[in-house]
Chain A
Amino acid sequence: MAINLKQIAGMEAAYVKGHRMCAGCGVAVFVRELFIASKTAGVDVVIANATGCLEVTSSVYPESAWKYPWLHVAFENAPAAISGVERAYYALKAKGKIKDDRKVKFVAIGGDGASFDIGLQSLSGALERGHNILYIAYDNEAYMNTGYQRSSATPLYADTTTAPFGKKIPGKTQTRKDLFAIAVAHGIPYAATVSIYHWNDLITKIQKALTVEGPTFILSLTPCIPGWNMPVGDAVSLAKAAVETGYWPLVEYENGVYKWSSANPKQLKPIEEFLASQKRFAKLLKNPELLEKFKQDVISNYEKYKKLCGVA
């Protein structure tokens, strides 16, 4: 299912203009790449979208940006809702009420708030039950829809509106929750991390996540312009920097085996290249002691996944 840019450029969009996302939003880029993956893999999708930026900006009644069947129920229950859709599909198929033979994957998508926090139970339940679903966490590392509040995906010492970097407390004092490890711990057949800059890596992984039978999981770093407090045109370049600095290792997990993506850098660039243009890290950058701890956290996560992938 190899693809080239020419092929992508000529494709009809399944997530169309008119949505109300911020100019340059990383999530919008991700969703378009998701549909490229679905079309090139020949798999139709039904989307259950958790409440969040993507949902509110794409579905203002009576309009919709979605050209695929799309469902929103609430914030914390997209995995449960898609479980019901998926079982309904097979039930109706078994009773002869659905006759077509198309390949279908049932996709739930939510931000890090929906995935790491409020919907974690629902996600765990859906993964454990083994539905034929793909769960996508688009991770912009805070509650961006409600105005940049701390989530369990927020990185160490980041400045958010509910864990601000103050004189006494330096922003978030906990490290990121490792949702990828949690997903993998459910014994699912396929999981991967992706970055919107590495479109080829991303699309190939999503193609796989759509075609592998059973529950699959994609964790995407999707930069948020206002939440990361960064220049409007930087979403894709920051997604690139996140990979190049080791902040966001690109990995796959397939049937018990971890795989290190070839898109990972040979040599890591300084973490400052990822941090510098984001004002959420402005105060951290002025504090060498905390910055050192931040770097150690990034490296330990990077090394952990390298080791799991058997890369020296």
Chain B
Amino acid sequence: MSDGVVSKVSVVRKALTGAQAAAEVMRQVEPDVVAAYPITPQTPIVQEFAQFVADGLVNTEMIQVESEHSALSAVVGAAMSGARAMTATSSQGLALMWEVVAIASSMRLPIVMNIVNRAISAPLNIHCDHSDAMAIRDLGWIMLFSENPQEVYHNNIVAFRIGEHPDVFLPVAVNQDGFITSHCVEAVDVFEDSFVKNFVGEYKAPYNILDFDNPISAGEWAMPSHYFEFRVDMKKAMDRSVGVIEKVFEEFYKETGVKMDFFEAYKTEDAEIVFVVMNSTAGTIRYVVDKLREKGKKVGVIKVRVYRPFVVEKFLELIPSAKFIAVMDRALSIGTTGSPLYQDITSGLFANKRIVLVNDYIYGLGGRDFTDDDAYEMYEHAEYSLKEGISGQIVYVGLNPNLLGR
């Protein structure tokens, strides 16, 4: 963790699940308003936080709304009032609030929302994949992904600083894998409360609807003469967030010794085959990369921490020797060439005139186990593809063909 920088911050090591790690930051930040609705596997976040509220450990107004749509709607109302406001959800809950997800970013409200990633219906499935988060990827939210409870903790702290920066004013979604991260206990280094409070600071909204002396109308409608510019302004804010994220990560590193980056590369400098992965599976892949390296294979892995903005140039800098990219998508885009992460990477390669073979490996949908054996198999497929010059293949990892329909 320290990596040459001695942390000035005192740290207590706690045994926390990913859900508890999110709730821990909420306790330390004490947002003004939290509105949430229970949904598996997000529920432990709001339960944990509700207990903090009930025990008087935080000075937060908690609204136990009657749906996720209302959860984010209440949070939008609170944020528009100048309050720091949060919510959390999963899967169907995120799908239900989709309308307001788009509104929150368009109204430029720096809400922080934890998403505990879960498959979307049908069939109903409560287990992990990234289909829920991927359905909001183009709506103007900054999206951070977390490998483990520790990263959930760190991502939640930086989220406020990024979203609330005046150059940005966009909401931030902190993602973690359902059950795998949200319900599994790991050691988490928790900073002292005062550090988190100071690092996050006070939220200063540029406008709010509780200023009776300077009343504003918020959430107006715009004719074709003005709408376009609102959208482009939002896009420009997302572009500006790149510099803000760099600075926040840098400051976080100086204060805590914890390094964060848009893409976190492992043994990619000379790697010819590079895996790209999000959230908890990154650990499995790093383990397999080590094993393959022992056999002399030139292989590495890139973990995506900042998925939106997706700064493909930063990604390309990390793979100077890559001849083949094995993109791992835990979501399946239907009706196009490849799934979300694959699309982001391949379009980035093309636009930057980099010719690299790429396959899209779809894995873990609806909580399907992904083991190190699956990773070795995937590697063999990648190695074969590189040798044969195969690219653009969509490969389903761990699929049982006997269960497929026609």
Asked if B341 is at the interface (CB within 8 A of a chain A CB), the reply is: no
Residues of chain B within 8 A of A69, CB atoms compared: 209-212, 215-218
Given A66-B215, A73-B100, check contact A80 B210 (CB 8 Å).
no
Determine the distance from Cα of A90 to Cα of B223 in the docked complex, in whole angstroms. Answer: 35
Also in contact, A95 and B70, with CB within 8 A (given A71-B219, A89-B81): no
A91 contacts the other chain (Cβ, under 8 Å)? yes
Asked whether any CB of chain A lies closer than 8 Å to the CB of B327, the reply is no
CA distance A59 to B71 in the complex (A): 25
Interchain nearest-CB distance for B290 vs A (Å): 48
Residue from A44, A62, A95, A128 in contact with B59 in the complex, judged by beta carbons closer than 8 Å: A95
Residue among A59, A76, A124 making CB contact with B69, cutoff 8 Å:
A76
* A125–chain B nearest beta-carbon distance, Å: 3
**Bound Cα distance from A49 to B220, whole angstroms:** 10
B73–A122 contact, CB under 8 A?
yes
The answer on a CB contact under 8 Å between B69 and A88 is no
Q: How large is the interface on B (under 10, 10 to 19, 20 to 34, 35 or more residues)?
A: 35 or more
Minimum CB–CB distance for B20 against chain A, Å: 24
> Given the interface contacts A89-B210, A90-B61, does A80 sit within 8 Å of B77 by beta carbon?
yes
**Would A71 and B80 count as touching, CB distance under 8 A?**
yes
Which residue of B32, B35, B217 is within 8 Å of A92 (Cβ)? Answer: B32
A54-95 residues with Cβ-Cβ distance < 8 A to B are: 55-56, 59-62, 64, 66-74, 76-77, 79-92, 94-95
- Report B198-220 residues with CB < 8 Å from chain A CB: 209-212, 215-220
Contact A87 B210 (CB under 8 A): no
Whether B210 and A84, one on each chain, are in contact in the complex, defined by CB atoms closer than 8 angstroms, is no
Chain A CB within 8 A of B358 CB? no
Question: Is B158 part of the contact surface with A, judged by Cβ < 8 Å?
Answer: no
- Those of A19-67 within 8 Å (CB) of chain B: 44, 46, 48, 55-56, 59-62, 64, 66-67
Q: Which residues of A contact B107 (CB under 8 A)?
A: 73
A232 at interface by CB-CB < 8 Å: no
Which B residues touch A72, using CB under 8 A?
A: 217-221
CA distance A98 to B208 in the complex (A): 12
A87: contacting residue among B33, B59, B216, CB under 8 A: B33
Chain A residue numbers with a CB within 8 Å of B80 are 71, 84-85
User: What distance in Å separates the Cβ of A173 from its nearest Cβ neighbour in chain B?
Assistant: 30
Q: Which of A56, A64, A91, A124 contacts B33 (CB 8 A)?
A: A91
User: Given the complex, which residues of B lie within 8 Å of A77, measured CB to CB?
Assistant: 69-70, 73, 100
Q: B67 and A121: CB pair below 8 A?
A: yes
Q: How many residues of A contact B (CB 8 A)?
A: 48
Check if B51 is an interface residue, CB within 8 A of chain A: no
Query: Does B304 reach chain A (CB closer than 8 Å)?
Result: no
**A177 near B: Cβ within 8 Å?**
no
Cβ contact within 8 Å between B81 and A85 = yes
Checking B59, B73, B210, B212 against A73 with a beta-carbon cut-off of 8 angstroms, the contacting residue is B73
B406 at the interface (CB under 8 A from A): no
How far apart are the CA atoms of A83 and B75 in the complex, in Å? Answer: 9
B82–A92 touching, CB < 8 Å: yes
**Alpha-carbon distance between A304 and B221 when the two chains are bound, in angstroms:** 41
Query: Nearest-CB distance from B352 to chain A (Å)?
Result: 38
A168 within 8 A of B: no
Is B103 a contact of A73 with CB atoms below 8 Å? yes
Instruction: Return chain A residues, CB-CB under 8 Å to B226.
Output: 61-62
CB distance from B75 to the nearest CB of A (A): 6
- Cβ of B397 within 8 Å of any chain A Cβ, yes or no, is no
Additional pairs, 5, CB under 8 Å, beyond known A84-B35, A85-B209, A91-B60 = A61-B220, A84-B80, A92-B32, A92-B81, A125-B65
In the complex, the 10 A-B pairs of residues with the closest C-beta atoms, listed nearest first: A84-B77, A125-B66, A84-B74, A80-B70, A88-B81, A88-B83, A77-B73, A80-B73, A81-B77, A84-B78
